[in-house]
Structure 1
Amino acid sequence: MLHPLDLPTVLLLHKLSFFVAALCFLYVRSQSRESVGLGFLAIGFFLVAMSSTLVSVGKAFQGLEYVLALAGNFAGLVGYSLFWIGMCRISTQARKRREWLVLLLPVSVCAGLFFSGLYVSMQVRTCVFQITAASLLFAAAYTVYTDRLIEPLPVRKALAGTIAFAAFLSALVFVGILFPDITFVSARNAFFVSIVCHFAIAVFVLALVKERAEEGLRRLADLDVLTGVHNRRSFSLRLPEQMRQGDAIVMIDIDHFKRINDGFGHLAGDEVLVRVARELSQRIRPNDSFARFGGEEFILFMPATGLEDAMSLADRARQSVSAIRHPIEDQKVVATLSMGLAVCEEKHCTPHALMKLADMALYASKASGRDRLTVYRPEDFSADSSATTRVRHAS
């Protein structure tokens, strides 16, 4: 028959769990150096593990017992503070100088214990340590959870929940010491369950780094490398299977782009492409989809817009690009746009059919002198293929 573990054994395992979790953080950091904050998580857990060691060493030295115990409290609270900094950084992937102000918390708490003389009481030291640790853990959980609005990774909820549960266990220990008659769980059981929390935190941090890396790869696969806007593949995936009445497609082409490449070089042409793409992407609405379709050609999908609004939005974008003066080799180069607009007039139509009509309108813009927007209207375009061929050759 198995006997329950005694409190000293549980505390030893509790300390070792911090060491193991810290080693996991260091391992993840060695495999993913772009994720900031992992080093702080490791140092923080190492310090928390060392805090109980200092308390144990202090018992072997009479006269230094209380001083080393206070030093252990300070090391542990600094560790939890660094854990909070690490979680903030790994959650936001940003460094903020104001985060270091949290280190004033362990300094002020331990200074208060020392100057009040309460540091000689193990009960007071433990209560102050547990409630401060719980506060820092709750703050870390809150940061991870709220940042899901900025980076909605699935593992965030699990990580935040685990940290919050570890904070809840520390709060239970605090309550159990103050009110031993009404405690819901013994300190031994609370420390034992928190061991599992430490391992779970390490696993979920590893999952967060992994999910972030995979999301980054997916994002790169959806973007055009040069311009940073969506590529043709991702644009096609974002289109609905059936267009509805009022949906609009705009095909866009930079006029005489080959002349820019031939006259100034491909690097200059790339600069023009990037600036044109940036200007157009700033003109679209939140629900619109914009992508580089290939070469110097772009495409814009405007759902539920209607002919008049689509014409107005597209032409304003065309004029804004035409107003740009690109500085190339001490010259001011103008890159104008030809556009073809097609609007779904039926109750339903396919994306491919609407794109084909917009493409015909685009070539009509080129045939008419470029730097203009042409709207596809059935009465203006011949249904036979020879007319379409003449428009393409004229461009």
Structure 2
Amino acid sequence: MARKIGLYGVLAYLLFGLFFYWYLFYFADSTLPFEYQGSQADPAVFLNERELFLSEEYSRIRYLLYFLATPFEWIFYLIILLFGLSKAFKEWSEVTAKKKWLQTAIYLIWLSFFSFAAMLPFSYISYYLSKSYHISTQTFASWLKEELIDFWLNYGMTFILVSVLYWLMKKSTKRWWLYAWLLSVPFTLFLTFLQPVVIDPLYNDFYPLKNKELEAEILDMAQKADIPANHVFEVNMSEKTNALNAYVTGIGSNARIVLWDTTLNKLSNEQILFIMAHEMAHYVEKHIYINIATSLTFSLVGMYLTYKLMNWAVVRYGKAFNISAVSDLQSLPLFLMIISMLLFMSGPLSNMISRYQETRADRYAIEMTQNTEAGITTFQELSRAGLSQVNPPFLVKFFIYGHPTMLERISTLEEYKPKVKESEDEGN
């Protein structure tokens, strides 16, 4: 049974990978529809031939890497179960320590180390790819440091979550999923609150915007939008990347508007003000809180489905997986595999919600700045800096894109031009 499950799992993974390789390199067509050719959304208008070629090549490889890495995680956890490694991890932890919490910590060290080692090649390929196409400027030492920070942060949080989760499983075999979700609500809010001031500074240096004239303009916009902001932060990202970005993070008093220094170095003030108006829209329209509520709703459904699927899997494949009960710590790889699969399947819906919010934010920026040309040139520069496809294939957009495509964003701005002109004429 175990051999058959493993064989079918590997075959399914290979077929999955071959399908997306064929789709991305032979079937999918990123050519712009005829009506957009020659417009400002046409990459041939604002990219040279080499940039066009590199953006297509880089995007395809990057997308393929995503579609290979995600299901590989499922295969990894399946192998851990089928080969009895999860059982071995538990036995080693019981031999090493007597206290339950310490046994859990030791089990997790083994599982986390094997998981880190299994996924490290994908992380390195992603880093090497970005470096080869001159998007990343990060040194190998800096990249490895971040990987290790990720490892220990994830290990610490996973230890807390797993300890509580399996305690709940033992206390309530039928309601553990609900109690676990209820406890995740304050934990999620706490992490979101801490993100800007505790977690983010572990990776990068943040400081108030040095350009005080620009900061004054941004804060003036914030005041008009009734945003209680006293500072705009910039982060030193030029040591790691040539890509451009800005974002809003945190909640309550810890909410921050952040600009990458690469954005400050490569864009004009008008373009930066357009980006800031876009980011302010997320605050004004409460997108951060909506996203937290959406995430918690998804996690409630996800925890219930995980509960049902784990019970079914243990009853049907418990012997092959070396799992005697759901509450047995050996079932953790099964739990993580199911969660990963559910996240992948819920991704398209999450992306759709995110794309709607980003579209709203773009329109807010247009109305606030009345500067569609700044928006168009900003999106063109973002495409160039990140070597991103203007019109990605449908399945890529469906599974990966949390933003509208550059084709959609630039064409929307072009359509708004007449409206902006009419508004200016009325004002005169």
TM-score normalised to structure 2 length = 0.26
Bigger fraction of residues in strand: 1
Bigger Rg, structure 1 or 2: 1
Question: Which structure has more helix as a fraction of its residues?
Answer: 2
Name the structure, 1 or 2, with higher relative contact order (CA <8 Å, separation 6+): 2
TM-score under structure 1 length normalisation: 0.27
